[in-house]
Copies of this chain bind each other. A is one copy, B any other.
Amino acid sequence: MLALRLIERKRDGGHIEPGEWRALAYAYAAGHVPDYQMASFLMACFLRGLDRSETHALTDAMLHSGDSLDLAYLNRPRIDKHSTGGVGDKVSLVLAPLIASLGVAVPMMSGRGLGHTGGTLDKLESIPGFDTRMPLLEARRLIETLNCALFGQTEEIAPADRKMYALRDATGTVESIPLIAASIMSKKLAEGLTGLVLDVKRGSGAFLPQLERGLELAKTMIELGADHNCPVVALVTAMDRPLGRACGNALEMEESIHALKGEGPADLMEVTYALGSEMLLLAGAARTGAEALQMMEQAIADGSAARHFQRIIEAQGGNPSVVDDPAILPQANEVEIFVAPRRGFISRVEPRAIGRGITALGGGRTKMDDKLDLSVGFVITARPGDWVEAGEPLATVFARDRAGIDSGRATLRTAIAIADEANPPLALVSHRVSAAGVEVLAAG
């Protein structure tokens, strides 16, 4: 009866009170509200929207449906980074050990890949032995000793959100700003953060391609953070092409290790440093962006970031020698170079096509219980705006077998466009959003 009353109220544009959100989230998590009622309610939320107090109350309700990482006793800043997801986006793999090595706690609860975007947990698990499943107590111990734990959302964290997210995925109610914001923030607040940096992707490969929608999400998350004593800063970054060169789980792990050793591609480093600066500033570990950048470059140059990653890998059951010898990562059986079919400017490297291509190779999921081949993917050296001659190598396909190579070649033919005129890509880091408002960092 409660659920039906709330469905009808939200359907008619009415307001749901904090106690009602709490009762609904608890009842749903406990199985007292059937999926079909929650589905109807979520569609009403999608179409009618949630106001700020409702979004706040839903976040709280989902957060308190489960446990939290209580880390206040650490007396250390605790900062996480969240990305809205993209292709080739391995920033977390570089940033978590790098920032943790600088004395800031990074309790990084991540997800798995679904659809065209990859997931941090899958990439980490390409390291032999690496275990991302742990109870909250173990995550706490790791954060205490190493400033970092790289783990998945446990059953204990925001169970109402877990169940609701799976339902939204099946009922066409994912792309709602308040529902997305509440879902992310309920999990992030469960990490016991003192600050959060948000990487809002825009462009054709982003979850919310339009800038306006990305800014709206950032604004909503910033408000939620302010309501919960967790300041949030967001950067808008480009996802009209993959980030870095490697796309695929083990391939991205390898590129991240290179990045931690000072050999990362320029675009990956630019985004990593931009987000890392915000983390260090939120933590109070640096006073200016220039100081933050200098700290990070130093940690990479002197090897302390890479060494810190080794310690984290070891603590999570992985083989730490991967940092010195990435060749112990899973290797694809078949490898083939893809060359330019004609001369011209690279006008487009379409992230969605690449992401779907990884899934076609067996390295991505269309549903949550798909098993992955972590070795497969693409390394794409061609960048939008490059001039190329016919026959020039643009990318490499990594596949399980010859059929995979054929599939990968077909993917690259669709994903990489060559034209007579250059088509300028989006600015890599274009906007900064904080409680003070939106700052344009770069045009385009």
Chain A interface (Cβ within 8 Å of chain B)? 4, 7-8, 11, 34-44, 46-48, 167, 170-173
Could you say how many copies of this chain the assembly holds? 2
Q: List 17 A-B contacts (CB under 8 A).
A: A8-B172, A11-B46, A11-B173, A34-B170, A35-B36, A36-B36, A36-B39, A36-B170, A37-B39, A37-B170, A37-B171, A39-B171, A40-B42, A40-B173, A41-B172, A43-B47, A47-B48
| Beyond A36-B38, A37-B170, A43-B47, 18 extra complex contacts between A and B, CB < 8 Å | A4-B171, A4-B172, A7-B43, A11-B43, A11-B172, A34-B35, A35-B36, A36-B39, A37-B171, A39-B40, A39-B171, A40-B40, A40-B43, A40-B171, A41-B43, A43-B43, A44-B47, A47-B48
Residue of B nearest to A4 (CB): B172
Give every chain B residue within 8 A of A44 (Cβ-Cβ): 43, 47, 172
Bound form: Cα–Cα A38–B34 in Å: 13
Q: Using Cβ atoms and an 8 Å threshold, which residues of chain B touch A170?
A: 4, 34, 36-37
Task: Output the residue of A39, A41, A167, A170 with the most chain B CB within 10 A.
Answer: A39
Main secondary structure of the interface of A (DSSP, over half): helix
Distance, CA A434 to CA B43, complexed state (A): 36
Hey, which chain B residues are within 8 Å of A8, CB to CB?
Answer: 172
List of B residues within 8 angstroms of A173 by Cβ: 11, 40
A171 to B170, CA, bound (A): 17
Please measure, in the bound complex, the distance between the C-alpha atom of A19 and the C-alpha atom of B235, giving whole angstroms: 45
Assess the B37–A7 pair: CB atoms within 8 A.
no
A7 vs B175: C-alpha distance when bound (angstroms): 13
Report the minimal beta-carbon distance from A115 to chain B, rounded to whole angstroms: 12
Residues in B whose Cβ lies below 8 Å from that of A37? 39, 170-171
A-B complex: 8 closest residue pairs judged by Cβ atoms: A7-B172, A40-B171, A43-B43, A36-B39, A35-B36, A39-B40, A39-B39, A8-B172
Q: Chain B residues with Cβ under 8 A from A11's Cβ?
A: 43, 46-47, 172-173
Minimum CB–CB distance from A171 to chain B (whole Å) comes to 4
How many Å lie between the Cα of A46 and that of B39 in the bound state?
Answer: 13
| Nearest CB in chain B to that of A46: its residue | B11
Q: Which residues of chain B have C-beta atoms less than 8 A from A46's C-beta?
A: 11
CA distance A47 to B170 in the complex (A): 19
Query: Which chain B residue shows the least CB distance to A1?
Result: B366
Contacts of A43 in B (CB 8 A): 7, 11, 39-41, 43-44, 47
Question: How far is the CB of A185 from the nearest CB of chain B, in Å?
Answer: 23
Q: Give the residues in chain B near A41, CB-CB below 8 Å.
A: 43, 172
- In whole angstroms, what is the CA distance A147 to B39 when docked? 45
Of A11, A37, A46, A171, most B-chain CB atoms within 10 Å: A171
A172 → chain B, closest Cβ, in Å? 4
Q: How far is the CA of A36 from the CA of B171 in the complex (A)?
A: 7
Known: A47-B11, A47-B47. A40 touches B172 (CB 8 A): yes
Closest to A171 in B: B40
Closest to A45 in B: B43
In Å, the complex CA distance between A4 and B170 comes to: 7
**Bound complex: CA A44 to CA B39 (Å):** 11
- Which residue of B has the minimal Cβ distance to A6? B172
Q: What B residues does A34 contact at CB under 8 A?
A: 35-36, 170
Q: B171 near A7 (CB under 8 angstroms)? A: yes
Residues of chain B within 8 A of A172, CB atoms compared: 4, 7-8, 11, 40-41, 44
Q: Which residue of B lies closest to A42 (CB)?
A: B40
Q: Using CB atoms, name the residue of chain B closest to A174.
A: B8
Q: CA separation between A39 and B43, bound complex, in Å?
A: 9
Complex Cα gap A426–B398 (Å): 77
